[in-house]
Amino acid sequence: MYGKNPFAVLQRRMRLLGTILKFLCLAWIVTNGVMLTAEMTPEDLQNHRAASVQDRVRNCPGEFARRFDCTQDILLAGEQMSTVSVIERLAVSVILPAIAWTVWRVVMWWIRRVLWPPAVSTRWAADRG
């Protein structure tokens, strides 16, 4: 153990941790993506098949043109809510692993900078010398 370079050991361990984090992020995205999309119901999406939307459409009063406008308003509001629901689910499944991976890359950048500082430019050394 004493004969090994501690920086090389640290580099191997950090590379292993990076690989583990990569697989954990991918597993998180796959499992959450599948679970969150499988659990979506017409009520979550508030599309025309949802019972609550159909009830509101049936209660639209007036003649044909007025009922048509009322129905369009209800369906458009439902589409907007379904878009928000899908974006929230996407954010939970993708943005959290992206944040973890970004933090990991910053940590690795700092470790590389500390362990292997940039060499002095030979041109700068020649100019000074």
- pLDDT computed for residue 23 by the predictor: 93
Residue 7 domain-assigned (yes or no) = no
Per-residue pLDDT tens over the stretch 58-113: 888 888 788 778 888 877 777 777 778 778 888 888 888 999 999 999 988 888 78
116 residue type, one letter: W
Contact status, residue 28 vs residue 96, Cβ threshold 8 Å: yes
H-type helices in the chain, by residue range?
6-38, 42-45, 51-58, 64-90, 96-115, 122-128
Which of 2-16, 46-60, 72-86, 112-126 comes out lowest in average pLDDT? 112-126
Q: Does residue 47 lie in a domain region? A: yes
Residue 18 lies in a domain: no
Q: Is 98 inside a domain boundary?
A: yes
In a domain, 126, yes or no: no
pLDDT of residue 32: 86
SS3 40: coil
pLDDT at 80: 72
Residue at 9 is within a domain: no
Q: Token pair for residue 47?
A: 């599309």
Task: Please count the structural domains in the chain.
Answer: 1
Predicted pLDDT at 63: 83
Cα(34)–Cα(75) distance, integer angstroms: 26
pLDDT digits (tens, 9 = 90+) for 17-55: 989 999 999 999 889 888 887 777 766 666 666 777 777
In a domain, residue 106? The reply is yes
The verdict on pTM exceeding 0.85 is no
Q: Can you give the pLDDT at residue 20?
A: 93
Range of the domain at 91: 42-115
| Residue 84, domain member (yes or no) | yes
